[in-house]
Amino acid sequence: MSKFLIADDHPLFREALKGALNGSFDDLEIFESENFDTTLNVLEQQQELDLLLLDLHMPGSGDLYGLIRIREDYPDLPIAVVSGTEDIQVVSKVMSYGALGFIPKSSSSAQIAEAIEEILEGETWLPASMADKVEEVIEQDAELAQQVASLTPQQYKVLSYLHEGLLNKQIAYELSISEATVKAHITAIFRKLGVYNRTQAVLIASKLQLEPVESN
């Protein structure tokens, strides 16, 4: 039996994707998650998953952070990003950061099945219209991914709030933690990212944002 996890915050899309998968694959068990935290919970509980179908924009994933974090923690798990964003720079980053495939949400059931079959065989898959346009991410971005992978999900939340311009006391309120804990997180973030101030940390956070962000 094959085991897939659909990680997407839209119930209707999850249901539609489940229908497409069940119509194309026999003896299939499908798990679902609607945000980054529940995705991590399923990944921890289901150690024998064959494929993760990951939405980049689900709550808590921080755009590219979710992919980078999961790839770091589960290096042998095939990941296919399923997204409504089809910007070629986004696709290039996604593939360079460890996804084996990029499946637009506009894909037909037949295309989805074709993509998954190739990915399960260890191949990479992209729509024909994208395959010859994907660019290699520069070495600096690859190094960035390694640094970001060292952040815990809580530390990444703090980094995201720094990117939004929140003060320490505001971050403490949002995360229901003390200001001292926020300061400890920021110190750890600076050390792991190899930076010395908020401005440098915010610049790194900016590189992980996916633009343009289209609705799913």
Q: Is residue 143 part of a domain?
A: no
Alpha-carbon distance of 165 to 18, in angstroms, equals: 39
**Shared-domain flag, residues 120 and 53:** yes
**pLDDT > 70? residue 213:** no
- Domain boundary among the residues 98, 131, 164 is at 131
Cα atoms in the Cβ-side hemisphere of radius 13 Å centred on 92: 13
Mean pLDDT of 38-67: 89
Confidence of residue 210 (pLDDT cuts 50, 70, 90): low
Would you state the structure tokens that stand for residue 139, as one six-digit string?
A: 């070495």
* pLDDT attached to residue 139: 56
pLDDT digits (tens, 9 = 90+) for 86-142: 778 888 888 888 899 999 988 888 899 999 999 999 899 998 888 777 766 545 566
Q: Assign residue 61 the CATH number of its domain.
A: 3.40.50.2300
**pLDDT > 50? residue 146:** yes
Q: How many domains does the chain have?
A: 2
Does an H or E element contain 88, and which? helix 88-96
The verdict on pTM exceeding 0.85 is no
**Shared-domain flag, residues 102 and 200:** no
Range(s) of the domain holding residue 160: 150-207
- Domain boundary among the residues 131, 159, 191 is at 131
Which residue has 């085991």 as its token pair?
A: 3
Q: Is residue 144 part of a domain?
A: no
C-alpha distances out from residue 202 to 14, 99, 199, 213, Å: 33, 25, 5, 19
Give start and end residues of each alpha helix (H) in the chain: 11-24, 36-45, 64-73, 88-96, 109-120, 128-131, 139-149, 153-163, 168-175, 179-193, 198-207
**Shared-domain flag, residues 69 and 20:** yes
State whether residue 74 is helix, strand or coil: coil
**Shared-domain flag, residues 29 and 105:** yes
Mean pLDDT, all residues of the chain: 87
**Shared-domain flag, residues 119 and 86:** yes
